[in-house]
Structure 1
Amino acid sequence: MARSHHESSRVRRCPYRKASLLSLALILAPFALSLVLASASVNPALPRSLLASALENFKPRGDLSGSGGGGGSSSKSGAGAASVIDGPVARLHMLSKDQTRGRCLDGSMPGYYLREGYGTGANKWILFLEGGGWCFSPRQCANRAKTDLGSSINWPSVSDVHFGGVASADAGINPGFYNWNVVLVKYCDGSSFTGGSGRKNKTEETGKTLYYRGHWNLNGVLQDLLETKNLNHGQEVLVGDVARGQ
């Protein structure tokens, strides 16, 4: 039976001093937790609806509908989505085979984009988990593995995502969070960071080898942020995701 989800956004604020991979995994995993708004304590002038609507303005280029291997298009779709962020850029950080057993569907390595914070935001973080639907059969997943939602081989070195709302680098429209570290965890496993199969899955239908390792992808990114990007010294963390497609 076909599954469908409507676009949704959830943001959580989790202050802590000593982060660990386990604690962050516990923060990220239970997506059913209630929304906690941080706007009042960060900047009393910010409207309470800012964080709730922030991800609606966080628009990647192209189509991320993605079920059955769709999505990953680099075509421009709208003025907001077509513009690259002004000011600081988010650069690609790829994980290595020595760091994680994680893989994209096609076996390429996972990664994330980081726009580094500065000043008062140097130790404050916004983490986004990229969405893009699921694949539900070997054929769908094999098709998806040919796109940016199943492979990292064509990811650009600098993100082409327009960061708006709470992730905007413009202090004039985002005074509370403009200088925070912003991370976009790339999605390429087809099951929203939940796969944990250690096997290489060669499909009889297509002859392609697929990897279902999304859980390790997310853990690997968190480990890298903790060990090499000073997330372990984080003072405040906002966690959100955008889920789209079918």
Structure 2
Amino acid sequence: MSKASLSNVLPDPQQAETGKAHQVQQMFDRIAGSYDRLNNLISMGFHKQWKRLACDKLNLKAGQKALDVCTGTGDLLTYLLPVVGEQGQVCGLDFSENMLSFARKRYENTPNVSLTQGDALSLPYPDNTFDGAIISFGLRNVTDIPLALREMHRVIKPGGWMVNLDTAPKPLLPGMQFYFANIMPLIGGALAKDNQAYQYLSSSTQHFLTPNELRLAFEEAGCLNVSSETLMLGSVSLQAGQKPA
């Protein structure tokens, strides 16, 4: 796929839905208390395996520094911490203060975790700060995907890796598409008592980039050695790319 064809499937940031970022922020603020429990239920527990695999793609070592963009309640940090060890550091960033409040409670006694409220489109870190950066189930929520990837690329060191883990719009098994489009919103709406939020999460998956489009987006952000694969019968997408040394 060419750069021109990729631009055809990406929304124009200047024409993004008015107030989308604010609406998404409010949505995650509302569902923060039930988010982890519902993730585990909706994914049937498989999200733990996917996150572990995604973190492995960062190729981190003990003592290094990692960034989790759109960290939410900080669940992914539990997979990064054992890798970087006590001498390493893990930073989480999210735009939802309510989500971060749960992360802060989780890591209040973990000195090598830092949590920041901020925007994935304007990361508040200097260039070449981290040994690796990851975004998990968050990229489809930003209003400018290429910019978010460029920001991740900017803040990692030369030779470092960046990773995306998210749902995919075209699962191989038709039943999976039905599940995410119909069953997941019902479960989420019933337990979180927020039908609108889980209808959005389903809709955002259906309109998200394909794994191949994401591979190209990683390359356009400046990454080399880009890999792209699917998990769970094509319902989950995983990309990794390396910043040139």
Q: Same fold (TM over 0.5)?
A: no
Interval containing the TM-score (normalised by the shorter chain): under 0.3
TM norm structure 1: 0.27
Pick the structure with more helix per residue. Answer: 2
TM norm structure 2: 0.27
Q: Bigger relative contact order, structure 1 or 2, given CA contacts below 8 A and separation 6+? A: 1
Pick the structure with more strand per residue. Answer: 2
